[in-house]
Structure formats: C-alpha cells, structure tokens
Amino acid sequence: MTQHPSPTPSGDRTLVRLDVDRAIATVTLDSPRNRNALSARLRSELSAALSEAMADDEVRGVVLTGTGPVFCAGADLKEVGAALEGRDVEPAPELPEIFEQIMGAPKPVIAVLNGAARAGGIGLVAAADIALAPKSATFAFTEVRIGVVPAIISVPVSARMHSRQLSRYFLTGELFDASAAARAGLVTQAVPDREMAHAVDAVLQGLRGSAPRALSRTKELLGELGAGALAAPDRRKEAFARMGELSAEFFGGEDAAEGRASFFEKRPPRWAQ
C-alpha cells in the first residue's frame, strides 16, 4: 500500500489521507475532533487528494471514507460564522467544485460510510457513484433546523433520492437510518455493520476486474444518461451557481445566526416548538 500525505502547513496535522492499494485509492477524512466537518483546510486537502487519485494511471477507482464515529458532519459552522463577521478564512475550494470533482471524475468514486452523515456530508454521499452505509449509520438534512436551505447539496442529492422522500427529509430535517436511505435511493446498500468489509470488498473486486478504459467510459455514459435535471452535466454549472446564491442568502440571514447560536449554546433555536 502506498501512502500519499496531503500537503499541509508545516507542523499541522493532515486532515485527509490518501492511500493506494491494488488499483484502489482510499481518501480518508481524518478530522474526528470536529466530526470531519468541511472546514477550509479539509476541503483543500480533500480536493488535492481527489485530484492526485484521478491523475494516477494505476488507480481504477476511489474510496471515500472517514475516521471516527461520523463520516462527515457538514459545514464547519465556526468558520461560517467567522467569514460572515469579516474575519479571515483561508481560501479553499468550495463544495460545488468538490462535488463536481466527484460527479465528473473519470473514475468511479465509492463512498464507504464509517458512521453518520449530516447536511453537506450527505452531499458527498450523493455525489459518489456507489455508496455503502452500515445499518447503524444515520442521516439528516439539518439545514432547515438552523435556519438555512439545503441548496448546494440539492444538486447531487436530487439526482439520487426519490422525490417524496427528498421532500420529507429536506422539509423536516428529521433523522433517518441507513435502511431508509437505501429505500430513498440515497445510498446503494445498507449493510449490517459486521458485513461492511465483505460488501466493500465485493465492490472493489468488481472495479479491479474491470478494464480501465471501459470503466471510465461507463461512468461517463452514466453521466450522459442523467438521473435528474439538476445533475445533467450541461446544467450542473448553472445549477450550482443558482444554488450558491440561494445558500449565501440564507447563511447570511438572521435565522442562520440564531441557528448557529443555538447549536453552540446547546439549546433549541427560537423557532423550535
């Protein structure tokens, strides 16, 4: 197995790890202290790791996973608050760019969940070509409960989830389990926890047994077929731009400020009943 540590400032702990073994690159979100939240540095390292994996001619497919009990908690709310207050936040690729790296990649990406996914973290799951989740994993689109809209992630998520379940979970922000996520189309398979290694191996063996050029073209074909209007390759840029404006509008609003405050103060937001 070859390890490729992602670039990071001297002395800082790497937040994303890249390992290559038998034609499969594994990109691991490794920031368990904040539940693998999508901070600027994590996004930078994630984007760099994805680019490196896709440029490696020996890599047939990419596994995206995490460490700790949570796959990805979504946006780093502390950073969001800091940016809105005018404080410096290091430049980094935004989520549309990362989602596009995954959705438009020339190689298949398999999300292998190690635990719960929330908000923007679910966008990573939806962007992947295949998603395997342990039955113990939970999901929630928590945006409406902190006063914002699940705008940007709606692009990849709407391409996966059935419309009735999408409406329910977007509008209520309620928790749902991996089996419900599979029925809704968000994940490919909900797997008994003890069988995850076997399920992942079955998928990876399929990729390892596929001709690289045929595998890449088949992924391109799936993109051409399209699973939803927002996810169509020729409309994604427009859709992400439109959703970015909507996201910025709500993240900068009073409800979002109250949502962040209630999150950090561990109390219900003022609109909770």
Segments in 29-176 forming alpha helices (H): 40-55, 77-84, 95-103, 120-127, 154-158, 163-172
Which residue(s) pair with 190 in the sheet?
133
Q: Are strands 138-140 and 24-29 parallel, antiparallel or unpaired?
A: unpaired
Q: Give me the sign of the Cα torsion angle 200, 187, 101, 71.
A: negative
Q: Are 41 and 92 in contact (CB under 8 A)?
A: yes
How many CA atoms does the CB half-sphere of 152 hold within 13 Å? 24
Residue in 143, 245, 249, 258 annotated catalytic: 143
Contacts with 187 (C-beta within 8 Å, 6 or more apart), sequence order: 111, 113, 125, 131, 132, 133, 178, 181
Q: Are 46 and 57 in contact (CB under 8 A)?
A: no
Q: How far apart are CA 94 and CA 43, in angstroms?
A: 7
Q: How far apart are CA 262 and CA 146, in angstroms?
A: 8
265: annotated active-site residue = no
In the 8-state DSSP scheme, what is residue 227? S
Q: Are 137 and 68 in contact (CB under 8 A)?
A: no
Which amino acids are annotated catalytic?
143
